[in-house]
Amino acid sequence: MLSQAASRLGFDVVILDPEENSPAGRVSRGQIVAAYDDPTALTVLGRVCDVVTFEFENVPAASAEQLAGGGALVAPGPTALSTAQDRVLEKTFLNAVGATTVDFVAVDTLEDLTAALETLGTPALLKTRRDGYDGKGQVWIKTAKQAAKAFAEIGGRPAILEARADFTRELSIIAARGHDGAVAVYPLGQNHHANGVLATTLAPAQVDAATTARAREIAEAILEGLDYVGVIGVELFDLGGGDLLVNEIAPRVHNTGHWTQDGCLCDQFEQHIRAIAGWPLGPTEAHAQVEMTNLLGDDVDQWPALAAEPNARLHLYGKAEARPGRKMAHVNRVSRLA
């Protein structure tokens, strides 16, 4: 979707992806089939591209560093990537720029975990510091007795223990920042997760002015704190009354921003390309109410019924294999703004 947006703005796109005929490669000018950390492939990529970006945050930060070190313009920069890849660094950064999170403690050993549980109390959420997304690599601890089992469950790896947030709902905000420091922020989305994976986003969310203002303030603080260039997704816990906690940041276009494709003149994908290419940022107002629903695994078999829904717009990713839980497509159901 990023590649299509770039092509529509006249750019040629080259994809680096280890999978032959990847979903992005099949709609792009070229593809380099190689691992994300292949030094030769990275050198070639840096030479043929005016700007390099990424669409998921598990690209090794070292690859972004090699590209930037070799003189390529990488946006967002390697720092944004490495910050988002480590949950302890991420939350430390967020609190430093005034974007409050739940209380947390870094955990390297079982002893650390036991001490952390005393500090934060139970229930608390144990997550690996790195990797893991869509609910993978995390486990709830309900009593201190479960510490050893939980630590084993996440593989005894460096971890973070997070206090439970007492939130009423999950929101997210999609924002962009240009090379010139200009910031553009989309209306908030309200998210519903199922089994740790995003199921739906409803946008624009019904929010009061204080919540909107606070979300924008948070997004701006994060973008400036990271000297960020591109689109970012910020997941928020809504505590009510304009109080928001940041759950996590995604240094890329974000699943909770897919609604912008059918709700805004300039969607998050075009916005990201505009930002990294040094174009002026596009408008972010919504012209429609959108409910975005992910189609995971076999859900994609519903496509004939969805294609026949008069106010639905279907986006299929062209992935060959519908593995259970794999994001295969999404549908935006569009209605008039409330």
Q: Which residues bind a second copy (CB under 8 A)?
A: 3-4, 7-12, 21, 26-29, 262, 265-266, 274, 279-280, 282-283, 287-288, 303-304, 307-308, 310-311, 313-318, 329, 334
**Nearest distance in Å: CB 205, a second copy:** 21
Strands 289-296 and 197-203: what pairing?
Answer: antiparallel
Q: Which two tokens stand for residue 14?
A: 């080259």
The DSSP output letter for 197 is E
Residue 93 or 269: the one with the smaller Cβ distance to a second copy is 269
Residue 157 or 326: the one with the smaller Cβ distance to a second copy is 326
**Nearest distance in Å: CB 75, a second copy:** 17
Residue 169 or 327: the one with the smaller Cβ distance to a second copy is 327
Residue 44 or 314: the one with the smaller Cβ distance to a second copy is 314
Residue 49 or 125: the one with the smaller Cβ distance to a second copy is 49
Query: Bridge partners of 166?
Result: none
**Nearest distance in Å: CB 176, a second copy:** 14
What is the residue-wise DSSP string for 307-338? HH-TTEEEEE---S---TT-EEEEEEEEE---
Q: Name the nearest CA neighbour of 273 among 59, 78, 8, 42.
A: 8
Largest CA distance in the chain: 59
Residue 29 or 164: the one with the smaller Cβ distance to a second copy is 29
Give long-range contacts, CB 8 A cutoff, 24+ apart: 210-216: 210/241, 210/242, 211/171, 211/238, 211/242, 211/244, 212/187, 212/188, 213/242, 214/242, 214/243, 214/244, 215/171, 215/173, 215/185, 215/188, 215/244, 216/173, 216/175, 216/185
Q: Which two tokens stand for residue 142?
A: 């309900």
**Nearest distance in Å: CB 271, a second copy:** 12
Residue 137 or 178: the one with the smaller Cβ distance to a second copy is 178
**Nearest distance in Å: CB 23, a second copy:** 9
What is the residue-wise DSSP string for 84-127? HH-HHHHHHHHHHTT-----EEEESSHHHHHHHHHHH-SSEEEE
The DSSP output letter for 77 is -
**Nearest distance in Å: CB 282, a second copy:** 8
Residue 164 or 179: the one with the smaller Cβ distance to a second copy is 179
Are the C-beta atoms of 283 and 302 separated by less than 8 Å?
no
**Nearest distance in Å: CB 314, a second copy:** 7
Strands 169-177 and 189-194: what pairing?
Answer: antiparallel
Q: Which helix (H) or strand (E) holds 229?
A: none
**Nearest distance in Å: CB 256, a second copy:** 19
